[in-house]
Homo-oligomer: A and B are copies of this chain.
Amino acid sequence: MATTKRSGRPAARPRGRRPGPSRTREEILAAARSAFAEAGFKATTIRQVAARAKVDPALVMQQFGSKQGLFDAAMELPFDAPAMVARVTDGPRTKIGERLVTEFLALWDDPEIGPQMVGLLRSATSDREAAELMRRVIGGRLMAPVARAAGLDEADLRAQLVWSQMVGLGMARYVLRLEPLAAAPASEVVAWLAPTVQRYLTGSPKR
């Protein structure tokens, strides 16, 4: 079932082999996303998701194989990571930080993707598989290619520094909703964070 789970290509949607009625599948996935977003991976059960989607738990198992399979399918973020990387890396290198923060905020503010990111982050701290997925999706598919494109040494370390700032922002603004940060306009958040990300990607530490 989940043979491609560790392939590093979560966007490939490899679980189309047992489509079932696609409307039901989408309803189960939507129920799973909101359940994972509210409670995280550990505290969410197949039974709860089935109840939300108004289907039999056996159908969820049949379609997704396991809670992990359901989680992986629900968390396949429906965005084109290479296209996003290209939008960030194209253009003047002096504005790469600004473009990255802008694109990242747009993901969080997307009505479909945002809740999935919250679910991923809620699960990532208490679940090893979710943590691995967050490393792969946010780190491997976004930050690492951007840092490599910036072309300086220590690309992995730079990518992780950017990851730390962007994930911390996600936690403060979208998961815990700290005010006034949560209500600040995106442009203001970009103005504060862009120089940070710019320095992590193209600058140097202060010795």
Contacts and interface: CB of A to CB of B under 8 A. Distances in A.
Interface of A: 39-40, 42-43, 121-126, 131, 134-135, 139, 154, 156-157, 160-161, 163-169, 171-173, 175-176, 178-181, 184, 188, 191-196, 199-200, 205-207
Interface majority SS on A: helix, strand, loop or mixed?
helix
Contact of A205 (B43, B122, B175, B188): B188
Contact of A163 (B139, B160, B178): B178
B196 A165 contact: yes
Q: How many copies does the complex hold?
A: 2
A196 B194 contact: no
Given A154-B180, A164-B165, 15 more contacts: A39-B126, A40-B42, A42-B126, A122-B126, A124-B176, A125-B126, A157-B180, A161-B193, A164-B172, A165-B196, A168-B168, A168-B171, A171-B171, A191-B205, A195-B199
Given A125-B122, A176-B124, A167 B160 contact: no
Contact of A125 (B124, B135, B181, B206): B124
Contact of A43 (B126, B156, B192, B193): B126
Contacts of A126: 39-40, 42-43, 122-123, 125-126
20 contacts: A39-B126, A42-B43, A42-B126, A125-B125, A125-B171, A131-B176, A156-B180, A157-B180, A157-B184, A160-B178, A161-B181, A161-B192, A163-B172, A164-B172, A165-B196, A166-B168, A168-B168, A191-B205, A191-B207, A195-B199
B206 A194 contact: yes
Most buried by B among A124, A131, A157, A184: A157
